[in-house]
C-alpha cells in the first residue's frame, strides 16, 4: 500500500510489516462519522463524493487486495472534502503469498459492517466482501440515523423510501444497495468497479432539470405512436421528458408537400404537440450523405391548406440548416418572409447541432453548433405545435437526426398528441 497513489486512498509514508506498524498522512478534518449530517438525504452530495471514493476502492481491488474493514470510522476527510480510505492493517491479498497482518483463522473486521459469509470464518475474503461494506456505508450516508442491521435494508425500519417519503431518488439508492447488502456472496456485485458502474448508471438516470427525480421509461407507449427505436423517459418529480437512443433516419422516398407533387425533393416530419403547454427547448444533430439537404424545425400551426408543415405561412416559423452547392448554411422563414440566409461552418465531427430555447416571451433563441442567432419573434401558443423536418434533393439518400432532446416548459407532454406526419 505504500506505493498506492490514488487520491482517495490514504498516503502511507512508511511501514514495517514485520513489526506491524505504518505511518500515514494526518487528516485534520476527522472521519466520515463527523460528516453524516452533511450527506443525510442529499443524494447529489453523496454521489459527488462517493464515486471518486469508489474509484479508489476499485484500484485496490484491481491489485488483488481486499480491505476487509470499510466503515465510516476508516474513511477520512481530506482538506478538499475528498473521502479517503484508511486503515489497511487487515488488508488481504487474493493471489500470491496471501500475506496479511492478522492470523489466517482470525475473525477480523467490524461485525456491523462485515459480510455475513465472512462471519465465523465461513469463507475467505473477496472483493465482494468490501462491496457489502460499501453498500452499508452508502445506506449510512443516506439515512437520517442509525446503522443498518445485517442485510435488512428493505425492511420497514431501514427502508430509505419510507424514511424519505416523496423522494423518488431513494428507490434508485435502494436498487444499488440491493446489489451489495445481500445474504449470499453470489448475489453481490463482484468488486468496486462493478459498484462504481452501478452508481454511475443511477446518476445518469437522475433528472437533469430538477435533480430530484429519476426518469421512467415510456418507450413502449410512445413508440406505438412514433415507431420503435427511440427511448422516451419522463422524470417522476417534474415530468421533464428525455429522448435518446437509435437514430431517427428520414428516408427520402416521397415529395416535399402534397401541393408540390412535381418537385423531386423528399421530406419527412414528425410533430410534437402538447395540450396547452409550450415546448421549452429542442436540440438535435444532423448528418446526411446527400449533396443537397435541409433539416430543422417548424413552430406554429400547420399550413391551413395543406395541413402539412410546409409551405410556411404567417402563423409559423421555419428555421433550418443544410447543404447546397458544397456550402453549409442556415435559413429562416418568419411567416412567408425569409429573415436570414447565410453560410455557416461545419462542426469538427462532421455534424451540425441545432437547438432553440424559449422562455415564455415572444422571443425564440436559436443556436447552430453553439453559435447564437438573433432572436425570432413568435407567439407563445405556436410552441404547442412543433415539427422536426428533414428533406433532401436526392431520392434514396437519408438525413439522419440524432441525439434528440425535447423539453416541455412544464408538466407532461401529452403523448396521445404526439404523432408522425404523413409526408
Grid look-up 435494508 returns 153
In degrees rounded to 5, what are phi and psi of residue 17? -60, -30
- C-alpha angle 200/204/207, rounded to 5°? 140
* Fold entry, domain 12-204: Transferase(Phosphotransferase); domain 1 (1.10.510)
Please tell us whether the domain made up of 247-420 is placed in CATH 2.60.120.200.
yes
CA separation for the pair 150, 132 (Å, rounded): 10
Residue 383: what pLDDT? 75
Instruction: Write out pLDDT tens, residues 30-84.
Output: 999 999 999 999 999 999 999 999 999 999 999 999 999 999 999 999 999 999 9
pLDDT the model gives residue 8: 96
Give domain limits for the chain: 12-204, 247-420
Q: Which of 341, 288, 304 is nearest to 319 (CA)?
A: 341
Q: Are 160 and 172 in contact (CB under 8 A)?
A: no
Q: Where are the alpha helices (DSSP H) in 216-312?
A: 219-226
Mean pLDDT of the chain: 77
pLDDT greater than 50 at residue 254: no
In DSSP terms, which residues pair with 347 in a beta bridge? none
Q: What is the mean pLDDT of residues 344-368?
A: 75
Does the structure show a pLDDT above 50 at 258?
A: no
- Residue 17 near residue 7 (C-beta atoms within 8 A): no
Give the Cβ contact number of residue 282 at 10 Å: 22
High-pLDDT (> 90) share of the chain, %: 35
pLDDT of 104: 45
- Bigger pLDDT: 4 or 127? 127
Domains 12-204 and 247-420 alike in fold? no
The pLDDT of residue 139:
98
Amino acid at each position: 500500500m505504500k506505493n498506492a497513489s490514488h487520491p482517495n486512498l490514504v498516503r502511507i509514508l512508511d511501514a514495517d510489516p514485520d513489526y506491524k506498524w505504518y505511518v500515514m498522512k494526518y487528516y485534520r478534518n476527522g472521519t466520515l462519522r463527523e460528516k453524516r449530517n452533511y450527506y443525510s438525504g442529499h443524494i447529489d452530495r453523496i454521489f459527488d463524493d462517493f464515486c471518486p471514493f469508489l474509484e479508489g476502492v476499485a484500484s485496490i481491488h484491481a491489485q488483488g487486495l481486499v480491505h476487509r474493514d470499510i466503515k465510516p470510522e476508516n474513511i477520512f476527510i481530506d482538506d478538499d472534502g475528498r473521502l479517503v480510505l484508511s486503515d489497511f492493517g487487515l488488508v488481504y491479498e487474493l493471489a500470491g503469498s496471501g500475506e496479511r497482518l492478522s492470523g489466517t483463522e482470525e475473525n477480523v473486521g467490524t461485525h456491523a459492517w462485515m459480510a455475513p459469509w465472512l462471519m465465523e470464518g465461513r469463507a475467505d475474503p473477496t472483493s465482494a466482501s468490501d462491496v457489502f461494506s460499501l453498500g452499508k456505508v452508502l445506506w449510512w450516508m443516506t439515512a437520517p440515523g442509525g446503522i443498518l442491521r445485517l442485510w435488512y435494508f428493505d425492511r420497514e425500519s431501514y427502508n430509505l423510501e419510507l424514511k424519505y417519503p416523496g423522494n423518488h431518488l431513494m428507490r434508485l439508492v435502494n436498487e444499488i444497495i440491493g446489489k451489495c447488502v445481500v445474504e449470499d456472496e453470489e448475489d453481490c456485485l463482484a468488486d468496486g468497479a462493478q459498484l462504481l458502474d452501478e452508481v454511475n448508471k443511477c446518476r445518469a438516470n437522475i433528472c437533469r432539470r430538477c435533480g430530484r427525480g429519476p426518469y421512467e421509461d415510456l418507450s413502449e407507449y410512445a413508440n406505438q405512436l412514433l415507431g420503435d427505436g427511440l427511448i422516451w423517459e419522463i422524470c417522476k418529480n417534474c415530468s421533464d421528458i428525455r429522448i435518446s437512443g437509435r437514430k431517427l433516419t428520414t428516408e427520402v422516398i416521397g415529395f416535399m408537400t402534397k401541393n408540390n407533387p412535381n418537385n423531386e425533393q423528399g421530406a419527412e416530419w414528425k410533430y410534437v404537440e402538447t395540450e396547452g403547454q409550450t415546448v421549452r427547448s429542442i436540440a438535435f444533430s444532423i448528418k446526411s450523405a446527400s449533396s443537397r439537404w435541409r433539416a430543422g424545425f417548424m413552430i406554429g400551426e400547420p399550413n391551413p391548406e395543406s395541413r402539412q408543415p410546409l409551405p410556411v405561412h404567417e402563423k409559423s416559423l421555419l428555421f433550418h440548416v443544410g447543404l447546397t452547392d458544397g456550402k453549409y448554411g442556415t435559413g429562416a422563414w418568419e411567416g412567408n418572409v425569409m429573415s436570414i440566409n447565410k453560410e455557416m461552418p461545419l462542426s469538427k465531427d462532421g455534424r451540425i447541432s441545432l437547438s432553440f430555447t424559449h422562455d415564455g416571451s415572444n422571443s425564440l433563441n436559436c443556436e447552430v453548433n453553439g453559435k447564437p442567432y438573433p432572436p425570432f419573434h413568435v407567439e407563445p401558443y405556436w410552441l404547442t405545435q412543433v415539427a422536426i423536418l428533414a428533406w433532401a434533393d436526392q431520392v434514396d439518400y437519408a438525413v439522419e437526426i440524432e441525439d434528440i432532446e425535447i423539453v416541455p416548459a412544464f408538466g407532461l407532454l401529452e403523448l396521445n398528441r404526439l404523432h408522425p406526419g404523413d409526408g
